[in-house]
């Protein structure tokens, strides 16, 4: 079965390489890169509507690393998010507890 997705609205957050994690309590957390730095924000989803989400609480993660590229969220385990990214010529892993 093939799913076709249609983009109905561009993201209001400035950045690129967006990765979303949807939680059991209908919150969504987005991880993204902006100017080579890793950031995250959260939003509440009401009645299954993903349009016009109000993201709050922008936080910079991994303040010791800059020049971040190739962000990937690789797993969600209980209350732990595991991801990888590249900086300079190094591949790194991060563990984020929410």
pLDDT at 3 over 90: no
Residue 90 pLDDT? 92
Question: Measuring CA to CA, how many Å separate 2 from each of 5, 7, 47, 51?
Answer: 10, 16, 26, 23
Q: What is the DSSP string of 23-50?
A: -TTSEEEEEEEETTEEEEEEEE-BTTB-
> Residues 65-91: pLDDT tens digits?
889 999 999 988 888 999 999 998 899
> Residues 54-71: pLDDT tens digits?
888 888 998 888 899 999
Distance between CA atoms of 83 and 31, rounded to whole angstroms? 10
């Amino acid at each position: 079965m093939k799913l076709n997705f249609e983009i109905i609205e561009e993201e209001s957050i400035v950045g690129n390489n967006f990765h979303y994690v949807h939680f059991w309590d209908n919150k969504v957390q987005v991880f993204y890169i902006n100017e080579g730095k890793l950031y995250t924000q959260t939003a509440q989803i009401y009645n299954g509507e993903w349009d016009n989400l109000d993201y709050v609480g922008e936080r910079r993660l991994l303040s010791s690393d800059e020049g971040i590229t190739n962000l990937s969220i690789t797993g969600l385990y209980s209350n732990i998010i595991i991801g990888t990214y590249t900086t300079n010529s190094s591949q790194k892993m991060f563990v984020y507890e929410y």
